[in-house]
């Protein structure tokens, strides 16, 4: 972005701007005073501490101007350029809407209980073969992250791919109305955040909020194998396109070939063309089908889609293979976790061939509410003692899985449990047992911080 303060002030209805500041130009926005780009507009947000406390630091680090809440007194000796608004977050969001209309790209919004970041990356890669594309950085997918994505667009952006997360009702409603999607994708309905919603039905209701801001002539792209989505899609006026594994879907896989480091498949629309993903997991076929459905809507050639998927660069910590210092292969998937995702990645691990042993490290799945113990225990059915040599469990919630595995007859000497404050010991124990050709799965919610175990297994 590149805007003068006078234009920003008008866009967000800011008050008390000093006319001497009108011609100041900002080139980015930032809400972290430590890591901003010189020339930024600083947005003081309310978190554990009030962002207004860091305005001076923001200017020391190169901020050009700041938003300022009207209910905060301005120090009498302060001369920092300020735009005074009622609510800095709301003004920040309003500015992103203004800039979105100014650039006027095609907007693709992506949400889902699992796979939204992977699908976002796939959509962006496919569309980038024929368009100038901006996509959500990392997982900036909430009320703050979506405006950041929109305001980070270059003027040449033709398509913006926006990941949208949610953990409560009305969140996707807000994000959808901010971004006004032309295309909205729902990857699937799982158990993520079931603590807040209670049932998958209610999760589906919340996910469907993504259409609330969608353009009247927009297109909703959904998993056609999920009745909770197809039933709700019948009630919207926009076009609906489906993907999945059934013949009734608009885009479905006609064959799938699994290898240790890739997945290949064909699609009904182009049966003679093979699409290859440089990643493991049959579940990623559905994510790719969603991206292909978007690409088809925007008339990307199938050959370009094929090339884009084959050369895909993924957001880190999403089911990536990493070499450990003992020669083991580590499948790292430590960003988030829920029952559906764990079941899928366990299936993947069991399909991988190796001459060594297979070891799984599972951390607590968070935000499962009163169903947590049951959902953790149910994972026992996904763990084959003939395939998995050692099971390492981390966290209080994993006690339920430990108990169920024991009850199912999984050998106790191959079961290990650690508190979340014992990750250093877990790392030490793993390093003592892992050897060349072994395979290790690391999977857990981000709050368990299994990335520290990964670092301990891979550092030289």
Q: What's the rounded mean pLDDT across residues 331-360?
A: 89
Closest listed residue to residue 457, CA positions, set 280, 327, 358: 327
Known binding residues: 112-118
Residue 193, pLDDT above cutoff 90: no
Where residue 457 falls among pLDDT bands split at 50, 70, 90?
Answer: very high
Which strands sit side by side in the sheet containing 219-223, from one edge to the other?
Answer: 133-135, 159-163, 106-111, 183-186, 219-223, 239-244, 251-258, 263-267, 270-277
In angstroms, the CA 110 to CA 106 distance is: 13
Q: In angstroms, what is the C-alpha Rg of the chain?
A: 24
Q: What's the rounded mean pLDDT across residues 76-86?
A: 88
Check residue 369 and give its pLDDT: 84
Check residue 280 and give its pLDDT: 84
In angstroms, the CA 399 to CA 137 distance is: 35
Check residue 318 and give its pLDDT: 63
Residue 292, pLDDT above cutoff 90: yes
Q: What is the distance of C-alpha 137 from the center of its chain?
A: 9
What pLDDT digit, counting tens, does each position of 235-253 carry?
A: 999 999 999 999 999 999 9
Tokens linked to 4? 């003068």
Where residue 269 falls among pLDDT bands split at 50, 70, 90?
Answer: very high
Where residue 195 falls among pLDDT bands split at 50, 70, 90?
Answer: low
Q: What is the distance of C-alpha 102 from the center of its chain?
A: 26
Domain annotation for the chain: domains and CATH numbers: 3-86 (3.40.1390.10), 105-310 (3.40.1190.10), 320-458 (3.90.190.20)
Check residue 16 and give its pLDDT: 66
| H helical segments located in 104-128 | 116-127
Sign of CA dihedral 34, 35, 38, 42: negative
Residue 200, pLDDT above cutoff 60: yes
Tokens linked to 404? 């169920």
pTM tops 0.75, yes or no: yes
Check residue 142 and give its pLDDT: 95
Check residue 460 and give its pLDDT: 54
Tokens linked to 190? 């799982």
Known binding residues for ATP: 112-118
Q: What's the rounded mean pLDDT across residues 284-301?
A: 97
Q: What's the rounded mean pLDDT across residues 3-16?
A: 92
Q: Which residue has the tokens 């709700």?
A: 232
Q: What's the rounded mean pLDDT across residues 201-213?
A: 96
Check residue 224 and give its pLDDT: 97
The pair phi, psi for residue 269, each rounded to 5°, is: -70, -30
Q: What's the rounded mean pLDDT across residues 183-209?
A: 87
In angstroms, the CA 164 to CA 146 distance is: 7
Residue 35 neighbours by CB distance under 10 Å: 9
Check residue 112 and give its pLDDT: 94
What pLDDT digit, counting tens, does each position of 19-37 carry?
A: 888 999 999 999 999 989 9
Residue 393, pLDDT above cutoff 70: yes
Where residue 198 falls among pLDDT bands split at 50, 70, 90?
Answer: confident
In angstroms, the CA 179 to CA 103 distance is: 12
Where residue 196 falls among pLDDT bands split at 50, 70, 90?
Answer: confident
Q: What's the rounded mean pLDDT across residues 250-259?
A: 93
Average pLDDT, the chain: 93
Residue 439, pLDDT above cutoff 80: yes
Query: 134, 153 in Cβ contact below 8 A?
Result: yes
For the chain, give the percent of residues with pLDDT over 70. 97
Which of residues 281 and 135 earns the better pLDDT score?
A: 135
Q: Looking at 51-65, 90-104, 310-324, 378-392, which range is the least confident one?
A: 310-324
Check residue 78 and give its pLDDT: 76
Residue 271, pLDDT above cutoff 80: yes
Kind of pairing, strands 28-30 and 3-4?
Answer: unpaired
Where residue 197 falls among pLDDT bands split at 50, 70, 90?
Answer: confident
Q: Which residue has the tokens 């950085």?
A: 137
Helix or strand holding residue 405 (H, E): helix 399-407
Check residue 191 and give its pLDDT: 76
Q: What's the rounded mean pLDDT across residues 157-184?
A: 96
In angstroms, the CA 232 to CA 242 distance is: 13
Check residue 113 and give its pLDDT: 86
- Residue 99: which residues within 8 A CB-CB, separation 6 or more? 1, 3, 11, 150, 151, 153
In angstroms, the CA 383 to CA 391 distance is: 9
Collect contacts of 16-22 with beta carbons under 8 A, ≥24 apart.
16/82, 16/84, 17/82, 17/83, 17/84, 18/81, 21/65, 21/81
In angstroms, the CA 260 to CA 22 distance is: 58
Helix or strand holding residue 391 (H, E): strand 390-394
Residue 73 neighbours by CB distance under 10 Å: 8
| H helical segments located in 145-252 | 145-151, 171-179, 194-197, 200-207, 227-233
Where residue 120 falls among pLDDT bands split at 50, 70, 90?
Answer: very high
- Residue 242: which residues within 8 A CB-CB, separation 6 or more? 221, 222, 223, 224, 230, 248, 249, 250, 251, 293
């Amino acid at each position: 972005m590149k805007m003068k303060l006078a234009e920003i002030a008008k866009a967000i209805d800011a008050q008390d701007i000093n006319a001497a500041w009108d011609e100041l130009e900002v080139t980015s926005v930032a809400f972290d005073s430590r890591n901003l780009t010189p020339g930024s507009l600083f947005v003081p947000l309310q978190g554990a501490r009030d962002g207004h406390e860091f305005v001076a630091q923001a200017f020391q680090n190169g901020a050009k101007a700041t938003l300022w809440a009207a209910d905060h007194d301005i120090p009498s000796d302060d001369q920092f350029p300020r735009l005074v608004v009622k609510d800095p977050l709301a003004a920040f969001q309003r500015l992103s809407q203004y800039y979105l209309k100014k650039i006027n790209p095609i907007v693709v919004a992506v949400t889902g209980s699992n796979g939204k970041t992977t699908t976002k990356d796939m959509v962006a890669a496919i569309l980038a073969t024929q368009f100038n594309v901006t996509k959500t950085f990392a997982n900036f997918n909430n009320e703050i992250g979506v405006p950041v994505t929109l305001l980070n667009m270059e003027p040449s952006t033709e398509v913006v791919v926006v990941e949208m997360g949610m953990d409560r009702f009305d969140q996707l409603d807000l994000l959808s109305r901010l971004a006004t999607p032309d295309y909205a994708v729902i990857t699937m309905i799982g158990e993520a955040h079931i603590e807040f919603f209670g049932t998958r039905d209610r999760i589906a209701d919340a996910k469907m909020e993504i259409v609330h801001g969608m353009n009247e002539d927009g297109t909703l792209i959904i998993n056609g194998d999920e009745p909770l989505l197809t039933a709700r899609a019948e009630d919207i006026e926009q076009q609906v396109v489906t993907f999945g594994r059934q013949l009734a879907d608009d885009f479905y896989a006609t064959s799938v070939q699994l290898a240790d480091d890739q997945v290949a498949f064909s699609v009904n629309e182009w049966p003679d063309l093979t699409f290859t993903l440089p990643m493991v997991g049959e579940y990623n076929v559905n994510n790719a089908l969603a991206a292909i459905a978007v690409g088809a809507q925007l008339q990307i050639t199938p050959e370009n889609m094929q090339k884009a998927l084959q050369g895909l660069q993924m957001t880190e910590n999403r089911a990536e293979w990493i070499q450990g210092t003992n020669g083991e292969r580590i499948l790292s998937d430590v960003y988030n976790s829920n029952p559906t995702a764990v079941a899928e990645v366990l299936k993947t691990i069991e399909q991988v061939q190796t001459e060594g042993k297979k070891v799984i490290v599972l951390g607590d799945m968070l935000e499962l509410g009163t169903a947590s113990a049951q959902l953790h225990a149910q994972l026992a059915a996904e763990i084959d003692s003939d395939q998995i040599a050692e099971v390492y469990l981390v966290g209080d919630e994993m006690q339920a899985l430990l108990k169920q595995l024991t009850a199912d007859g999984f050998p106790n000497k191959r079961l290990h449990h650690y508190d979340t404050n014992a990750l250093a010991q877990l790392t030490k124990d793993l390093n003592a047992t892992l050897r060349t050709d072994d395979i290790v799965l690391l999977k857990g919610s981000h709050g368990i911080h299994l990335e520290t175990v990964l670092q301990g297994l891979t550092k030289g």
